[in-house]
Amino acid sequence: MPGAIYAEGLVKTFGDVRALDGVDLDVPEGTVLGLLGPNGAGKTTAVRCLTTLLQPDSGKAVVAGIDVLKHPNEVRRSIGLSGQFAAVDEYLTGRENLQMVGQLYQMRAKAAKARAAELLERFNLTDAADRPAKTYSGGMRRRLDLAAALVVSPPVMFMDEPTTGLDPRNRQALWEVIKELVSGGTTLLLTTQYLEEADHLAHDICVVDHGRVIARGTADHLKAQTGGERVEVVVHEPEEITPAGEVLRGFGKGEVTAETHTRKLTVPVTGGAKLLAEIIRELDTRGIAIDDIGLRRPTLDDVFISLTGHAAEDAAADNGVDGAQGRVQKADKAKKEAVK
Amino acid sequence: MTAVTDVAPAAAPKGVGGIGQSVRDSLVVARRNLIRMTRIPEMIIFGLIQPIMFVVLFSYVFGGSMNVGGTTDSAVYREFLMAGIFAQTVTFATAGAGAGIADDMHKGLIDRFRSLPMARGAVLTGRTLADLVQTALTLLVLAVVALLVGWRTHTSLGEVLGAFALLLLLGYAFTWIGALIGLSVRTPEAATSGGLIWLFPVTFVSNAFVDSGQMTPWLRHIADWNPFSATVQASRELFGNPGVVDSSAWPMQHPVWASLIWSVLIIAVFRTLAVRKYRNATA
């Protein structure tokens, strides 16, 4: 059985830019796929193709068992979309916004009204329900936008950078909502630039760059791909770097690297916590004082750098084609900000 | 990955699809736009001030120097003028529609609309219907002001209402031109200016403010066949106001029919173009 969200060879070009260059996706029902990538990687374009907003140049897309290209309007009944920019009418109140969306999902006026009240309650917006949305804070708007996407409890949800621009507290709150949603059986495709977010929320992760999926798997799987664990030691005195390096060389599975100014030494290892204890004993025996020691597993940031050769944050800025689209998106963002 | 078989979509819920859904969705969107108008009352206020200003300026500045039907009596000109001002008012409202749509198209909300299982033309139809309500309101206030400065009708109530219906239909038709402009430009500001520029020749090369019978022949010919002139002529006739153009051109001979045909034609052409443009806007 194909998943609740399925794509095969999606291609979308904008002029010379191949925003999607043959993307395959398969999200099993009831799971979360994190689409991870820098600005301009093609994440938003992928979401727009899957939610019927954009027509791909070629490829196949099936959402909730329905062919997206052949039956877009049927797909629209089964999906909820929450975008990068809170898609609510700022002159309408929260209640009016939700009621309108409900009616446009073809609910009767009365049912839409009842559902709006229910969602306002659930998203903690009841107090602000009858104020125009433009008086809402960023976090409240995002909650309202998410509520709008959930009006008909769609089986398949798309969230395009749901927490971009939110403060940590609001991000945390939104994560809780998303987790609750998924525990109820919703299939979710989530795009994010935050490696931590993908790690936290997604069952599977697809790393995208230049419109291609460059790696896929669970967070653990991807971390393992990048290389195993390593031991980091910070010695107390700079002159202890050399003797400590000798100790680590004895235990490590590779070259020891040392940074003089931070007095930090790193060595790849296998053997985990048991080995760590042995290293501590040996350093102690030789009388080497340490400030810090730890076993480090690679972060998704490390994964990203090892896969793309650049960190997630500055990817858009430092390479050709992708950079061009990154700039377009930035200009777009600036424009949208200005409109607000 | 597993092969994908094309699964037929589930049957549409009852009452979904077709003209019924189109109408319902359009009314939901129209309601949204009307609520917005009440939350931004300054837009309605400015929409009212402009035509009132025109009434006063044209009546008193041009009043004594215009020759209508062989007289320069300013009271005659005032009666003559009102049908023109009414028609100009309903058409100038189109720039607002264009700006509103251009504004909508560049906000996240349009993605929301496009991802909903709603009738495709409803976003535009809803907007134009809301504008129609606003135009009707403006026309009502303007009629009261016109009565205050001395405008009178000399026909039956049915004929007077018929004239207003034709004026509103013309306004609705022009709103679709404004919608197409709004969809074709990048900013609401461009839609406002782009939506106004073409209205000047359309409203001035007509019988709205002067007796087009006194224009040079080629200009007079354009004025006679101008859709705008047909509605003005029809309104004058139905109000029983002076200055009905004596011309052999068919639209001037049968202004009510000409006005109806022009308006319906404009709606048919520009609604089709605008809805198509909307569908392809970001696709």
ipTM of the modeled complex:
0.84
**Per-residue pLDDT tens digits for B7-22:** 434 444 545 568 889 9
Nearest CA in chain B to A65: B7
**pLDDT band, residue A326 (cuts 50/70/90):** very low
Share of chain B above pLDDT 70, in %: 93
> Sign of dihedral through CA atoms B171, B172, B176, B178?
positive
Domain boundaries A229-296, corresponding CATH code: 3.30.70.100
Instruction: Provide, as residue numbers in chain A, all residues whose Cβ is less than 8 Å from the Cβ of B117.
Output: 73-74, 76-77, 104-106
> Would you list the domain boundaries of chain A?
5-223, 229-296
B13 near A CB under 8 A = yes
**Per-residue pLDDT tens digits for A124-137:** 899 999 999 999 98
From chain B residues 95-114, the ones with a CB under 8 A of any chain A CB are 103, 106-114
Task: Give the residue-averaged pLDDT of A51-72.
Answer: 92
Nearest CA in chain B to A152: B116
A-B contacts (CB, under 8 Å): 115
pTM: 0.79
Closest approach of A207 to chain B, Cα-based (Å): 18
**pLDDT band, residue A337 (cuts 50/70/90):** very low
A338 near B CB under 8 A = no
Instruction: Provide, as residue numbers in chain A, all residues whose Cβ is less than 8 Å from the Cβ of B107.
Output: 85, 87, 336, 339
Residue contact A71–B9, C-beta within 8 A: yes
- Mean residue pLDDT of chain B comes to 87
Nearest CA in chain B to A61: B4
Of residues A227 and A33, the one with the higher pLDDT is: A33
* Domain A5-223 CATH assignment equals 3.40.50.300: yes
Closest approach of B6 to chain A, Cα-based (Å): 6
Instruction: Provide, as residue numbers in chain A, all residues whose Cβ is less than 8 Å from the Cβ of B283.
Output: 53-55
**Per-residue pLDDT tens digits for A84-94:** 776 899 999 99
